[in-house]
Chains A and B, each alone.
Chain A
Amino acid sequence: MNLRKNNARLISETNQVSATNQIPEENEVNVFGAALSRRNFVKAGGALFVGFGVLAADGVKNVAHAATTRNSLDATLPESWIEIHPDNTILIRTGKSDFGQSTAFTAYRQIVAEELNTTFEAVTTVVMGDTDRTPDGSGAFDFLGSGMPNIRKAAAYTYQALLDLAAQRLGVAKSDLSVKDGVVSAAGKRMSYGDLVKGQQLKLTIPVKGDLTSIMGLTVDGNPPLKPVSQYTVIGKSFKNSVTATKVAAKEQWAVDVRLPGMLHARMVHPKTLGSTLISAGAVDKTKFPNAQVIVKGNLVGVVAPTEWEAIRAAQQVAGATTWKDWKGLPGNARLFDYLKQDADWKSTPVTKSDKSNGDVPPAMAAAAKKLTVSYQLPYMKHAPMGPTMALADARKDGTVYIYTHNQNPQALRGEIAQMLSTSPDNVVVRIFSGPGHYGRSNGGNAGAEDEAVILSQAVGKPVRVQWMRPEDFQWSTQSPAALSDVEIGLDNNGKMIAYQIDHYMPAMQDDRPIGAVLAGLPTMPAPSEKGDFVANTRNDPSDPWVYDGVATLLEQGHGTYQVGQKSSPLAVGLRDHSMRTPGQFQQNFPRELAVSEAAALAGIDAIQFRIDHAKEARVIGVLKAVRDASGWETRTSPHPAAKSSGSTPGSAPGSTAGATPTATPSATLVRGQGVSVMFRSETYWACVAQIAVNPATGAIAVEQVTVAVDPGIVVNPLQLKRQVEGGTMMGVSIALYEELMFDESGVTTRDWRTYPVLKMADIPEVKVVLLNHPETGKYGGGSEAANALAAPAIAAAFFDATGKNARRLPLKPEYIQTLLKA
């Protein structure tokens, strides 16, 4: 069974055979707004192809063009959403690239099988990502589409078309049909889906809207009938991810494995600083590197050679001989928050306000019996994929460009490359292969190497493979933006929050300009500004949905600014930012949840009960109660009665004592604490409890246990969801304890895994995952990235519980913790 790309099934037979009771060739059948037609009868093969047509609606001007070019799918071509084959196998295509979420290979197959009333195993092939082989584009985020992914609607239309076909063939009314495991029955007759399509080529055209090469891609439109959740038999089961087996057996073709004849290896020589323009590029020492060649375009310098090792060594030699202007335009990480507070321009970008903001804060705050006024800071962080960005590009003599890479938004990349080359997207094809998780950094279409490979390939007239080295992947890629928030909370005499105001400050989060194009001086989209479109904008939208509906007066505001260094860098780059798991919402949820924990402590109320008291939605309360029960939470006020910020008095051990402890530390010298956090994201409710141990003598924190309760509505695949939550939780612990981009006035000084430490196995907590399945909601929410955001505010709250000291910025490194403990 081939569960990846299978191009052997394209069907070219067009010879007619006679048939009766078929869909008439001339007439289209309307299927809930989709159009079913028969193109031809065929002698062998046959299939139902589900393509798309374009709705005449606002904002779709690029689609009609893009959808009919040779490199995009056309409803008349077999490269479409879903193919039903005569052997009863089913092929599905999605523009989304699975980066380890497992969704395309598990949940999508389950959803299609469910809507088609067939088996999981019948969906034998998943085609993913390739711009010329998949229909809908968009990025590797929100796979489940808040419960309505494109593939679900496409399958629902397909099912109705199959029923129409079956009604015709069996000569009965559609309502008299019953279907089980891909076999349609009526009046004692049975036909499999394969039988229905055998001998004909059928086409189903479904309505879509959107812009294929935009970040969001196309969306399937209309409202086909959906299978009632009560009848689900495939969704809810723990199917395995088919790609796991090929990866584990070393049989997967990764992007890094792709080779083309005549291909050259390349290494880049990036500028000395984030604002350095080129003075002169060094020459290759031909006595040492006879086959290497320097390519210069504007401020872009690359070295190509037939072998990878020669390219690496020649690039090092050329880098040493290349001169750049100096530039100092960054505040340096030590001065970052002073810079953001005092120097950054927060006025040019309009302030945004959340939908739930309500009431007049100042009088409500003035009436409060107690007030909490606090500020929080989050550092720049790196996506830090395990493999640095790479791409293989083949800029051909006929003007077409093929890019073989690993990217979260291939259609957006296609558009960006076309823009860079001032050519039509028709001429650009992006093929997608497995690679390291990107955690958001390429969801706008590029991670760094793609456009550079194209520029170099065009220059040398051969395929060029660009592989960044580890230091430049830290220093020249985008980062998750730093942020700060000011919070004010008013409590009444009963300890109830009567007024809450939070102001979030964050530089622009989404810079999708390809860096090679910027350095080479080629066309790109503009840098983020207050005038940019919804992506390339400095606006900071409130993105952390409020869950404490019992608070009468609420004001949540977002303040945006330019990327740090963007305006002063002669290269117009500075510290480029990009969305990273739970983007923006993490930067807003951390201060919100930590402030609510501080408010609970001020009120003298248990932090979980305090949240329950202010929540109205049953599912918010549900995840809080679930996490309380599963974690061994001690219901009490915070800090812990035995909290200490110095000395060696032991605290009691909440919950499990399994898991990590600070290395070689006698337990008696530790203090322990618990903390909680809550989030609503992509239709899913989350709550998290962290239990930690602190060594007051060293400032070392061990996260001993993290419990996460997840209510996504319908749990599509319990095992895969559990693994995703475990993984996200580990990344969250890593963010809380270790991660911070270091930079000076010229550029990023973080350069490797020693200067950007992440969580190691010895330091992991025990992770408990509680899945709350609520089929009655009828929807499945997102299950991956939100887990990343939960741990940090819970851990910081647990630190207060353990020590009585407030940690209001990340990461919780020992030096920072020691400063807090001594204060």
Chain B
Amino acid sequence: MVTITVNGVRREVQAPTDTPLLYVLRNDLELSGPQFGCGLAQCGACSVLLGGKEIRSCVTPLSAATSAEITTLEGLPARWAKQKGLAAADAEKTLHPVQQAWIEEQTPLCGFCQNGMMIKATELLESNATPTVAQIKAAFTTSGPSAHLCRCGSYTAIIEAVQRASTVMAKGGKA
């Protein structure tokens, strides 16, 4: 048995330790944010944060995911609430500014890749609150194991959403 911490909760998992984290999150913990896109760390659809850093859950064995807290798309609102010290009642009603910006900008088309896009955006904005367009492009293209791919071509909408989220986060979350 392996114990991992996912979105603030310690979870005991029976799966073999070589099971990729993605299948544990999706099948054992029934989380639906991370998606199976390639199983090869080539697209980014499966991204989660491990200790605040984006990893590809499709190639990360369960045994390598015990060292730090895992945050999935489901956990972004609570992550933001904790960072901002919001009351629990408020936190439940609040999306992460990145998620809210994705809605405001109507970023997703099919949306299958957007889990990874929002995870990457969160990682970026936590380390660089006001990224330039060039820095945003670099983050989504060269900063991880592979570029984050969007087949529908929502890249412009992603950049605009990151910029919107950046503005909101810089004001402490007030839109």
* Chain A residues near B (Cβ < 8 Å): 99-102, 240-241, 243-245, 247-250, 252-254, 256-257, 307-309, 384-388, 434-437, 439, 467, 469-470, 719-720, 723-724, 726-731, 734, 752-754, 758-764, 767
Tell me the complex Cα distance, A714–B26, Å: 43
Q: Are B147 and A731 in contact (CB under 8 A)?
A: no
Q: Complex: how many Å from CA A734 to CA B154?
A: 13
**Assembly CA distance A384 to B151 (angstroms):** 7
Contacts of A241 in B (CB 8 A): 106
A309 touches B23 (CB 8 A): yes
Q: Could you tell me which residues of chain B, from 10 to 42, have a CB within 8 Å of some CB in chain A?
A: 15-16, 18-20, 23, 26-27, 31-33, 35-40, 42
Enumerate chain B residues within 8 angstroms of A100, measured Cβ to Cβ. Answer: 108-111, 152
Q: For the complex, what is the distance from the CA of A252 to the CA of B73, rounded to whole Å? A: 12
Q: Quick one: which of A719, A727, A731, A759 has the most chain B CB within 10 A?
A: A727
Known pairs A761-B147, A762-B141; A726 contacts B114 (CB<8 A): no
CB-CB under 8 A for A470 and B38, given A248-B102, A250-B32, A719-B106: yes
- Which residues on B sit within 8 Å (CB–CB) of A256? 26, 32, 35-36
- Shortest distance from the beta carbon of A406 to any chain B beta carbon, whole Å: 9
Q: Please give the distance in Å from B106's CB to the nearest CB on chain A.
A: 6
In contact, A244 and B108 (Cβ under 8 angstroms): yes
Of A240, A439, A728, A761, the contact of B148 (CB 8 Å cutoff): A761
A734 — which chain B residues lie within 8 A by C-beta?
153
- Taking Cβ atoms with an 8 Å cutoff, the residues of B that contact A are 15-16, 18-20, 23, 26-27, 31-33, 35-40, 42-43, 45, 72-74, 77, 95, 99, 102-103, 106-115, 118, 136-138, 140-142, 146-159
Tell me the minimal C-beta distance from B61 to chain A in angstroms. Answer: 10
Q: A250-B72, A470-B40 are in contact. Are A753 and B109 (CB under 8 A)?
A: no
Q: How far is B39's CA from A309's CA once the two chains are assembled, in angstroms?
A: 12
Contact A386 B157 (CB under 8 A): no
Instruction: List 27 interface pairs A-B (beta carbons < 8 Å), by A numbering.
Output: A102-B109, A248-B107, A249-B95, A249-B99, A250-B74, A252-B111, A256-B26, A256-B32, A256-B36, A257-B32, A307-B23, A307-B27, A386-B110, A387-B45, A436-B110, A724-B109, A729-B153, A730-B154, A753-B38, A754-B42, A760-B141, A761-B136, A761-B141, A761-B150, A762-B138, A763-B141, A764-B156
3 smallest CB-CB distances across A and B, nearest first, come from A730-B153, A100-B110, A727-B153
Residues of A within 8 A of B153 (CB): 726-731, 734, 759
Which of A247, A257, A730, A767 has its CB near the most chain B CB atoms (within 10 A)? A247
Contact of A723 (CB < 8 Å), options: B18, B40, B74, B106: B106
Q: CA separation between A763 and B153, bound complex, in Å?
A: 12
**Known: A100-B110, A250-B115, A762-B137. Contact between A309 and B16, CB under 8 A?**
yes
A143 → chain B closest CB, angstroms: 14
Picked from B73, B74, B112, B157, the residue with its CB within 8 Å of the CB of A437 is B112
Q: Are A762 and B151 in contact (CB under 8 A)?
A: no
A720 CB contacts on chain B under 8 angstroms: 106
A245 to B18, CA, bound (A): 34
Task: Please determine whether B32 and A752 come into contact, CB atoms closer than 8 angstroms.
Answer: no
Given A727-B153, A764-B156, decide whether A244 and B72 contact each other with a Cβ distance below 8 A: no
Contact check: which of B20, B32, B106, B107 meets A254 at CB < 8 Å?
B32
CA distance A218 to B52 in the complex (A): 51
Known: A100-B152, A250-B115, A256-B35. A726 touches B102 (CB 8 A): no
